């Protein structure tokens, strides 16, 4: 135990004794049981684990299990919808999130261990059911965070040291049915926790036309998670995580359309859009094994992580040939694995050193089988029988990262956290960078915290998504690209500045944070074909800037929060994956900054909950967006979609006398606001999507 902690404990004990709190007649405390000792040891090891990677100087927004349970729908909420309640997070189609004006660039972690990226597009790999806390970490990040830097979503998982579980059934509008079960338990020095859920829904992907019941939009989604740990002794333990997400989706249809390209398939020229049958299946399985060792001055953790993901798109061959001139069956797989070695050493009262080494490898496969029509030099169809083009590829990447930093406590009120990070990326290109990081945290008076930071970032394009299509293979067909230039996407290099303050006033905490990112080879992503697979590309230069305001309230049974963010993100000159874009757009963007397609000027969220003594809880939340970008004239992304507000309400009632039953009722989009997330226009935007229409849901759960 650190000497400083011992001193504080001794001081507190002396103060209590002086006030007579320790009366001579008080009975001696009972000796702790073995189970209690194990729990205390587990908590101490959890604290030691957290000390390895504190987000010193960064902006951290925490959403613990109680916060999730207070949301309408509670743990039945999708993880992306939970994170949307944090400041500066904008929603996009396919469940995507944009943090501080970035497209993607989010790293997920489980208990501070990296979860590699996968191929999931529509579905959510992780469920809020497995979380005891969800943290969004943004800003000028300390040097332990790299490669994905717009936001770190670190999930502290539930453990088994609280024996018991819950079984629930939830469902309602849009054909939603969600049974789930979770259980945690311990025996001796070992514990385990597991959860499993299935969701069937008739709105698996956002509606393309805003209808309450989209056509051909069913989805089946399975999620499973398991956690195990074993305490070896008072200073060490080993833990393991395994999880899977297996999901299938129908691609929703737009009603009332017919092909307009004038193509002929063996004499057939018509095809009702209602009859299209396109499907996509996505699967991810992941695992983490960790060994933790802590002593008085040193704590170290060694982790092995892996993730296998697969995406398979099955086209409607006849329909897509007539509508698009190409029907492409696609299967992509990605296997990632790596090691994460990290440690913290308390050099003295003023300096705490942290260091880490992360090595990972990524192997991806891409197999496509495309049906197309042959055309002449003028683009006229010369055969009504399709021809097949096979385009397969294999690739492997290695990433090496090393960091060292010092937390220097200059005074009791002033802390400087500075360090260096080195990243080497060997993928389609070989790139590296040394990245300095520095954060200053000042607490001038109790309740007031000021911070300022700078970070240099290296962000490679998602390796598993880099297009491998051979453009030349499609020359002379109905799938011929408008251009042939296809430069390989490069890593983004940023200078990032952040400045913020937090003020606690009784039960209220207020926060403000401002940021500016200057980017070279800014990475963006677009959807350019029928298989819903995103493709990364670069703007030669770009920037993102913004301001976030936050407020939180907690006193007794009442909790509440409100967030408002302003941001602007722009890029200039597309310099990779150029064949995907209209030549006129490329020419304009070459000499002009344009808004990024995912830019949203104003983003807000708000919510609150009240719990009555009777076991009744009422809650509500809302999200607000001023609208993502669209193209309505000659300027790409020169316009924006209309603003929207979605309001959700929920209520639940616990029946403790009946063995832990809870009933709940929720209304999502109470006012049935019909709003567009995308309208199908914009740079790299593939299709229109609308937000959810009103839904009424009920559920029952039983603890045991």
Query: Which of helix, strand or coil describes residue 98?
Result: strand
pLDDT in tens, 339-368: 999 999 999 999 999 999 999 999 999 899
pLDDT in tens, 229-257: 999 999 999 999 999 999 999 999 999 99
**What is the percentage of the chain residues whose pLDDT exceeds 70?**
92
Backbone torsions φ then ψ of 25, nearest 5 degrees: -85, -5
**Tokens describing residue 147:** 């490669």
Superfamily of 34-449+460-562+569-703 according to CATH: TonB-dependent receptor, beta-barrel domain (2.40.170.20)
> Is residue 2 over pLDDT 80?
no
pLDDT reported for residue 163: 83
> Is residue 55 over pLDDT 90?
no
- Pick from 283, 93, 77, 370: nearest CA to 85: 77
Half-sphere exposure of 321 (CA within 13 A, CB side): 24
Q: d(Cα 546, Cα 559) in Å, to the nearest integer?
A: 27
Residue 526: band (very low, low, confident or very high) from pLDDT cuts 50, 70, 90: confident
Q: Which of 6-20, 198-212, 400-414 has the lowest mean pLDDT?
A: 6-20
pLDDT in tens, 545-582: 999 999 999 999 999 999 999 999 999 999 998 888 98
What does the H/E/C string look like for 122-159?
Answer: CCCCCCHHHEEEEEEEECCCCCCCCCCCCEEEEEEECC
Q: Is 28 exposed, middle or buried (0-12, 13-18, 19+ CB in 10 A)?
A: exposed
> Is residue 335 over pLDDT 90?
yes
Q: d(Cα 95, Cα 551) in Å, to the nearest integer?
A: 26
Residue 264: band (very low, low, confident or very high) from pLDDT cuts 50, 70, 90: very high
Q: Give the global pTM.
A: 0.90
Q: d(Cα 307, Cα 465) in Å, to the nearest integer?
A: 15
C-alpha distance from residue 460 to each of 102, 149, 429 (Å): 13, 11, 10
So where are the chain's domains?
34-449+460-562+569-703
> Is residue 602 over pLDDT 60?
yes
Q: d(Cα 72, Cα 82) in Å, to the nearest integer?
A: 10
Q: d(Cα 703, Cα 618) in Å, to the nearest integer?
A: 20
pLDDT, mean over the chain: 90
pLDDT reported for residue 432: 97
- Provide the sign of the torsion angle of the four alpha carbons 301, 295, 190, 132, taken in this order: negative
Q: Which residue in this structure is represented by tokens 């593939």?
A: 686
> Is residue 24 over pLDDT 70?
no
pLDDT reported for residue 35: 52
E strand residue ranges, 381-413: 387-409
Q: d(Cα 524, Cα 542) in Å, to the nearest integer?
A: 10
Q: Which residue in this structure is represented by tokens 């395994």?
A: 242
Query: Is residue 482 within 8 Å of 579, Cβ to Cβ?
Result: yes
pLDDT in tens, 72-106: 999 999 999 999 999 999 999 888 899 999 988 99
Query: Which of helix, strand or coil describes residue 20?
Result: coil
pLDDT reported for residue 467: 56
**Tokens describing residue 600:** 């949203």
**Tokens describing residue 369:** 């089988």
Average pLDDT for residues 419-426, to the nearest whole number?
97
Buried b (16+ CB within 10 A) or exposed e, 284-301: bbbbbbbebbbeeeebbb
pLDDT reported for residue 48: 74
> Is residue 486 over pLDDT 50?
yes
Residue 19: band (very low, low, confident or very high) from pLDDT cuts 50, 70, 90: very low
């Amino acid at each position: 135990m650190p000497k400083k902690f011992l001193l504080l404990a001794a001081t507190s004990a002396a103060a209590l004794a002086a006030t007579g709190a320790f009366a001579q007649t008080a009975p001696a405390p009972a000796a702790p049981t073995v189970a209690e000792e194990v729990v205390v040891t587990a908590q101490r090891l959890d604290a030691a684990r957290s000390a390895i990677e504190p987000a010193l100087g960064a902006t951290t927004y925490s959403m613990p299990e109680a916060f999730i349970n207070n949301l309408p729908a509670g743990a039945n909420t999708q993880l992306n919808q939970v994170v949307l309640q944090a400041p500066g997070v904008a929603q996009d189609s396919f469940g995507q999130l944009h943090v501080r004006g970035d497209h993607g660039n989010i790293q997920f972690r489980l208990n501070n261990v990296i979860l590699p990226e996968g191929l999931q597009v529509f579905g959510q790999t992780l469920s809020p059911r497995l979380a005891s806390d969800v943290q969004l970490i943004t800003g000028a990040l300390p040097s332990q965070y790299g490669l994905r830097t717009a936001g770190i979503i670190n999930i502290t998982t539930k453990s088994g040291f609280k024996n018991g579980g819950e079984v629930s059934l939830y469902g309602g509008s849009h054909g939603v049915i969600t049974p789930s079960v979770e259980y945690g338990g311990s025996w001796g020095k070992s514990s385990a926790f597991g959860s499993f859920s299935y969701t069937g829904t008739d709105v698996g992907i956002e509606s393309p036309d805003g209808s309450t019941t989209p056509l051909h939009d069913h989805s089946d989604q399975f999620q499973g998670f398991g956690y195990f740990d074993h305490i070896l002794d008072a200073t060490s333990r080993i833990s393991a995580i395994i999880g899977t997400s297996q999901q299938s989706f129908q691609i929703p249809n737009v009603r009332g359309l017919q092909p307009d390209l004038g193509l002929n398939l063996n004499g057939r020229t018509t095809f009702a859009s209602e009859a299209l049958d396109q499907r996509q299946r996505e699967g991810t399985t992941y695992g983490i094994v960790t060994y933790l060792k802590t002593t008085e001055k040193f704590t170290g953790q060694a982790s092995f992580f892996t993730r296998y993901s697969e995406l398979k798109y099955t086209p409607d061959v006849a329909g897509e040939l007539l509508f698009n001139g190409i029907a492409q069956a696609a299967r992509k797989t990605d296997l990632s694995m790596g090691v994460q070695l990290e440690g913290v050493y308390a050099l003295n009262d003023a300096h705490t050193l942290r260091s880490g080494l992360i090595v990972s490898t990524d192997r991806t496969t891409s197999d496509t089988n495309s049906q197309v029509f042959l055309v002449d030099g003028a683009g006229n169809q010369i055969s009504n029988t399709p021809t097949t083009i096979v385009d397969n590829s294999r690739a492997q990447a290695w990433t090496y990262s090393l960091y060292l930093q010092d937390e220097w406590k200059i005074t009791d009120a002033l802390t400087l956290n500075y360090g260096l990070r080195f990243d080497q990326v060997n993928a389609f290109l070989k790139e590296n960078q040394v990245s300095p990081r520095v954060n200053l945290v000042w607490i001038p008076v109790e309740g007031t915290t000021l911070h300022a930071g700078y970070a240099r970032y290296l962000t490679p394009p998602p390796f598993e998504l880099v297009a491998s299509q051979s453009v030349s293979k499609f020359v002379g067909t109905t799938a011929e690209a408008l251009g042939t230039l296809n430069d390989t996407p490069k890593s983004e290099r940023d200078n990032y500045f952040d400045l913020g303050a937090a003020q606690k006033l009784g039960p209220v905490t207020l926060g403000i944070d401002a940021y500016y990112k200057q980017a070279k080879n800014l990475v963006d992503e677009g959807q350019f074909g029928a298989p819903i697979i995103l493709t990364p590309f670069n703007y030669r230069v770009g920037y993102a800037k913004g301001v976030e305001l936050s407020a939180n309230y907690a006193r007794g049974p009442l909790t509440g929060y409100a967030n408002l963010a302003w941001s602007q993100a722009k890029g200039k000159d597309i310099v990779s994956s150029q064949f995907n874009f209209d030549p006129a757009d490329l020419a304009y963007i070459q000499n002009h900054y344009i808004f990024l397609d995912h830019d949203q000027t104003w983003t807000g969220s708000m919510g609150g909950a009240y719990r009555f003594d009777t076991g009744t809880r009422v809650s509500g939340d809302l999200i607000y967006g001023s609208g993502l970008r669209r193209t309505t004239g000659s300027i790409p992304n020169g316009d924006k979609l209309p603003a929207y507000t979605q309001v959700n309400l929920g209520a639940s009632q616990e029946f403790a006398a009946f063995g832990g039953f809870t009933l709940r009722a929720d209304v999502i989009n109470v006012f049935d606001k019909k709003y567009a997330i995308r309208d199908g226009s914009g740079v790299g935007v593939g299709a229109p999507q609308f937000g959810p229409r009103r839904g009424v849901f009920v559920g029952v759960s039983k603890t045991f």
